[in-house]
Structure 1
């Protein structure tokens, strides 16, 4: 059916097509102005191809069995579906499922599906695999638009998952609650080729488009931690400092907590152990003196008016160093936030 134009419905439900080891059903570049119905026992022995096909309505392959062991059971690069792409509810593929660049107007469903490609890489591209689906082999997701799947149970993942969503595209918007961002992060941490920042950024974009800024920042924080973990030792040390203090700019309240803690400790110690007076005209204020040590560049007049000695001097050095380091990490976090804006 190469380049065919079909009005309304292509009905294949219950059909049996056989051409083992070769293409059994070829519908490349086909245009279906309606629905492709392959439910209720469609059996294909051989490869099914839908390259750059266009279906204005839904594609129903629930319960279909596509078999091409050792090769691709379904090849649908560039497939465009106007509504649902249903590869679920008993759908079985003995062979790879290839959906690079596929687009669906609503969603791509793998609920209760089985993809068997031992030693190869089945490709459920275009939607996160549902917890009830099974995938044998390694999974590679490439070129699809990421969707946020909802469910009560955390998704089960294959041992290796290489995720690459291609260039930046408008995210697929879904109705309802966005789900748990922390449960999605393990998907992005199983790539056999190492860390890639782009999938993290794309998932964060999806959450941002859904109006969930908190989970978007959680994903970006996880990306920054993974990126730091693969760097040199000094980069990891600097990254650890930024993580603990301000969460790489994604947890700004941590900086306020550290400043408040240092201010309280410094105030209590300076109130009990006062430094020697240098200027007789300035009254000692433990809070202001501690702030003068903590805040770089800012001069409140207390530091110049009093001279610490012994243990007090070491405390002053510690507060000054902590203030500079904290201010530097805050500035780095603010710079990153402004760059994102």
Structure 2
């Protein structure tokens, strides 16, 4: 028990590697050390108490607390707050049967590059609790940590050195929630690639402070039951959710980030359930430009919820967004499909166009009937059937081969025939696209 002890002076250290303690280890109540506290490989049957202690090595960037590869039977805790550390804390490969509770701690690595807290591959049976106004200057590294309970950083304030991440947690697995919310602030990017969260990954009321165009949050290949992105304000940086999977994705249109990468992201539902036209700008924020998969994913989500009209709106928007990426001939063909049948998702447009041209042709050929072709007996002329015979390719109603228009009406017939072929082709292309999706 070293509560209240002070170890100071040049070359001062607490060297106790592979220490074995049957009960708890108490380094709180005003404990201070101006050198490294070396507990590498220690085995502590109870808890390690760090409340109201100060660790400040003489050499900037030198480890303040070396608790790597330790076995802790209870908790590592600083419940009463007051833990102040000027140098890296090393908890790599340490196993804690209880929880790690460092509420209100102050971590500061004065070195220009480096870690404030290195807890890579940390194994915790309970919670990893970094709430209570925890402040860190330097990276917090939680890569490949295994936490049976929850990872809690509500209200924490993290600041990175230069281009370093404020929080690096790639590969975390947690049985509860991963909360970076309720006042959480990160000055620097957050890297949470390939994480597994059994419950909620939450950024509600969080501030992600990075320069414009930088990555605010990288969450590639991750999974969570719920991802909540109600951030305090819209981030100027990019949120990258590539290849991730979420049961529910919650966000706030007022806080959509400047850049959003959704390529390969899969979700079962999205809230709030906005109209498709309102949600479309959300899909168009990928810095790489047009990517088709996010449109397909949102359309599939709408269909699962029975919103077929909304799904069609999204799919039409997908083709319109793709149009500028096409070669000029393909772009023209895309425009034609859009105007006529809405890429196959608006088939009634073709019917309306067909009826319009049928009405126009019927009126023209009623006023100026065509002449009979050949010496044979021609069927009785009917302007509507004659117009329909011109409009419908591969269909012979007996009128087109028996009558031929004169003068300027020849061009009207050519327009009707061409329109028929264009309508038939675009309808076939659109129908094929819809059938392939089905």
Relative distance call for 1:293 and 1:73 in structure 2 (3 A) is same
* Alignment partner, residue 416 of structure 2: 319
- The CA distance in 1 between the partners of 2:97 and 2:349, in whole Å, is 61
**Higher mean displacement: 65-74 or 10-19:** 10-19
CA contact (8 A) 2:228 2:251 kept: no
* Alpha-carbon shift at residue 327 of structure 1 (Å): 0.8
* Alignment partner, residue 102 of structure 1: 195
For residues 241-298 of structure 1, what are the alpha-carbon distances to aligned partners after superposition, in whole Å with 9 as ceiling and x for unaligned?
0111111122222222222222222223223332223464512222222221111101
- The CA distance in 1 between the partners of 2:418 and 2:216, in whole Å, is 54
- The CA distance in 1 between the partners of 2:198 and 2:366, in whole Å, is 67
Matched, 1:149 2:243: no
- The CA distance in 1 between the partners of 2:228 and 2:318, in whole Å, is 19
* Alignment partner, residue 77 of structure 1: 170
Aligned CA RMSD, in angstroms, stands at 2.8
Q: 1:90 aligns with which of 183, 190, 193?
A: 183
- The CA distance in 2 between the partners of 1:173 and 1:33, in whole Å, is 30
- The CA distance in 1 between the partners of 2:386 and 2:105, in whole Å, is 84
* Alpha-carbon shift at residue 29 of structure 1 (Å): 3.1
SS of the equivalent of 1:123 reads strand
Q: 1:28 aligns with which of 120, 123, 129?
A: 120
- The CA distance in 2 between the partners of 1:324 and 1:254, in whole Å, is 15
Instruction: Write the mapping of 1:112-191 to structure 2, written as runs, cut at 5 A.
Output: 112-118=205-211, 120-123=214-217, 125=219, 127=227, 129-130=229-230, 132-145=232-245, 147-149=248-250, 154-159=253-258, 161=259, 163-166=261-264, 171-174=266-269, 178-191=273-286
- The CA distance in 2 between the partners of 1:299 and 1:111, in whole Å, is 65
Who wins on radius of gyration, i.e. which is larger? 2
CA contact (8 A) 2:129 2:151 kept: yes
* Alpha-carbon shift at residue 323 of structure 1 (Å): 0.7
* Alignment partner, residue 388 of structure 2: 291
In structure 2, runs of 5+ residues without a counterpart are: 1-90
In structure 1, runs of 5+ residues without a counterpart are: none
Structure with the greater relative contact order (CA < 8 A, sep ≥ 6): 1 or 2?
Answer: 1
Relative distance call for 1:289 and 1:172 in structure 2 (3 A) is same
Q: Which structure: greater helix fraction?
A: 1
- The CA distance in 2 between the partners of 1:7 and 1:17, in whole Å, is 24
- The CA distance in 1 between the partners of 2:120 and 2:306, in whole Å, is 38
Matched, 1:66 2:158: yes
**TM-score by structure 1 length?**
0.85
CA contact (8 A) 2:249 2:270 kept: no
* Alignment partner, residue 344 of structure 2: 249
CA contact (8 A) 1:51 1:76 kept: yes
**Number of aligned positions between the proteins:** 335
* Alignment partner, residue 202 of structure 1: 297
* Alignment partner, residue 213 of structure 1: 308
CA contact (8 A) 1:135 1:158 kept: yes
- The CA distance in 1 between the partners of 2:169 and 2:243, in whole Å, is 12
**TM-score by structure 2 length?**
0.68
Relative distance call for 1:174 and 1:328 in structure 2 (3 A) is closer
For residues 6-50 of structure 1, what are the alpha-carbon distances to aligned partners after superposition, in whole Å with 9 as ceiling and x for unaligned?
456443332333334422223333444454333321222221122
